[in-house]
Amino acid sequence: MSGRRPLVAGNWKMHGNRASSSALLSTLRSGVGAKAQAEIAVCPPYLYIPLAAETLKGSAIVWGGQNLDVHSSGAYTGEIAGAMLRDHGCTYVIVGHSERRALYGENDVLVAEKYAAAQAAGLIPILCVGETLTERESSQTENVVARQLDTVIEKNGIASFTKAVVAYEPVWAIGTGKTATPEQAQAVHAFIRAKLGKLDRNISGGVRILYGGSVKGSNAKELFSQPDIDGGLIGGASLQAEEFLTIIRAAD
Ligand code: PEP
C-alpha cells in the first residue's frame, strides 16, 4: 500500500443548471454518507459553487473550481480569483486542463502561474498534464508531460508538490470514450513519479497522481488498482450520480 489517500474529483465542465446541480449534489451527499475512505471532490461551474458549499457542508465531499485567474484581485473583467474560491470554501482548483490549453490558449507558463496563484490563495491545484494523439503516436508522451511539469517545477519548486495533485489526462481519452489501458496509464504515472522523485523522493512518494480520460464505473477499479494511480479526475461520468458513486466505490 502506498499510504496515499485516493482522490476522486468530478469536473462538471460547463454543464447543468441550478435544478440539476442541486439534485446531483444532494444525491451524491446521501450516496456517500458521512465518511468515505477515498477523498471526494466536485468542481461545478463557478455559479454553482455556493450551491455546492451549501449542500455539501459537513459531508465527506469537498468542492473546488475548474479555473482561476493568475491575479489576486483587480481590474480583470470576467475573471475569478483564487481568494474568491477560498471564500466559498473551495479546497481544490483544476489548472491546465487540456480544454483550457487547447481552446483558451493557456500555455505552460500561464498554467505554472495559475498553479502558483492557487497555492498563494490556499487552494490545492489539480495540475493536468497529458499528450495529444499525434504526440502519443510520435512517441512524444514523456517529452510532453516532462515539459508541462518542468515549467511548473521551475516556477514553483519541487516542494510545492506537497500541496498539489497531478492529473494525467491523455487528451485523446478525454470525452472520447477511449480510455488509456491500465498499463498505458500506469506507465505514464510511474514516469511522472520517477521524474518528481529525481528531485525529491519523499515528495514524489506522497504526491497523488490521478488518471483522467473516459473513466466510468466499469473501468475505474482496474485503473485505480495500478500502483501509481491514486484515483481519478472524472468528466462526463461525474454528472451521473450513480456512475460517479460507482467510481467512488472503486477508489474506496
Ligand atoms: C476531464 O474533462 O477532465 C475528463 C477526464 O473528461 P471525461 O471523463 O469525460 O473523459
Q: Taking residues 189-196, what's their average pLDDT?
A: 98
Predicted pLDDT of residue 146: 98
Predicted pLDDT of residue 36: 84
CB 193 within 8 A of CB 204: yes
Would you say residue 1 has pLDDT above 60? Answer: no
Q: How far is the CA of 32 from the centre of ligand 1 (A)?
A: 21
Q: Give domain status of residue 2, yes or no.
A: no
Cα separation, 144 vs 139, whole angstroms: 10
Instruction: Report the DSSP beta bridge partners of residue 231.
Output: 7
Q: Give domain status of residue 67, yes or no.
A: yes
Structural domain harbouring 221: 7-251
Predicted pLDDT of residue 34: 82
List the single range of 1-5, 18-22, 202-206, 240-244 with lowest mean pLDDT: 1-5
Q: Is 169 a catalytic residue?
A: yes
Amino acid residing at 179: T
Name the catalytic one among 39, 106, 169, 243. Answer: 169
Q: Give domain status of residue 51, yes or no.
A: yes
Hey, what's the cell of 13? 465542465
Q: 3-class SS at 108?
A: helix
Hey, what's the cell of 162? 506537497
Q: Give domain status of residue 1, yes or no.
A: no
Q: How far is the CA of 234 from the centre of ligand 1 (A)?
A: 5
Q: How far is the CA of 237 from the centre of ligand 1 (A)?
A: 8
pLDDT in tens, 220-236: 999 999 999 999 999 99
Q: Is 97 a catalytic residue?
A: yes
Would you say residue 193 has pLDDT above 70? Answer: yes
Name the catalytic one among 97, 99, 106, 189. Answer: 97
Q: Give domain status of residue 129, yes or no.
A: yes
Alpha-carbon Rg for the chain, nearest whole angstrom, is 17
Place of cell 466536485: 42
This prediction has a pTM of: 0.98
Cα separation, 198 vs 185, whole angstroms: 20
Among protein residues, the one whose CA lies closest to atom 1 of ligand 1? 235
pLDDT in tens, 98-119: 999 999 999 999 999 999 999 9
pLDDT grade, residue 96 (50/70/90)?
A: very high
1 or 138: which leads in pLDDT: 138
Predicted pLDDT of residue 169: 98
Q: What is the CATH number of the domain that holds 241?
A: 3.20.20.70
Of all residues in the chain, the percent with pLDDT exceeding 70 is: 100
| Average pLDDT in the chain | 97
Domain count, the chain: 1
Cα angle vertex 168, ends 166, 171, to 5°? 140
Q: Give domain status of residue 153, yes or no.
A: yes
Would you say residue 160 has pLDDT above 70? Answer: yes
Hey, what's the cell of 75? 481590474
